Amino acid sequence: MDRKSRKPDERKLVERMTGKPFALVGVNSDGDLARVKAAVEKEKIAWPSFRDGGPFGSVAKAWNVDSWPTTYVLDPKGVIRYRNVRDQALSDAVEKLIRENE
């Protein structure tokens, strides 16, 4: 299945949030390390991205990830405020949290 990459949207969000209290961190659950490395290069991922070692890795288990991709937006206290928001909804969620904490 050929999926449209969301990395350009994520990249724009990271650029727009420069200098603000924001961080994007990726966790990849692909079991194949070569595929992970190729995806990081192809998508030009410039933010921290970690490999969880497969779909049943420790991060996936701890965060109850049952589908990929799964997106979490946390507030400054580490509380999950949004789950599985994408595209404009992701930008809106991040911007709302930034405004709440200014």
Considering just the CA atoms, what is the radius of gyration of the chain in Å? Answer: 14
CATH code of residue 77: 3.40.30.10
pLDDT at 82: 96
Asked whether the predicted pLDDT for residue 94 surpasses 80, the reply is yes
User: How many domains in the chain?
Assistant: 1
- The answer to whether position 1 is within a domain reads no
pTM of model > 0.85: no
Over residues 50-88, the pLDDT tens digits come to 889 888 899 999 999 988 888 999 999 999 999 999 989
- The answer to whether position 28 is within a domain reads yes
- The answer to whether position 2 is within a domain reads no
At residue 37 the predicted structure's pLDDT band, cuts being 50, 70 and 90, is: confident
- Residue 72 lies in domain: 7-100
Asked whether the predicted pLDDT for residue 42 surpasses 70, the reply is yes
- The answer to whether position 63 is within a domain reads yes
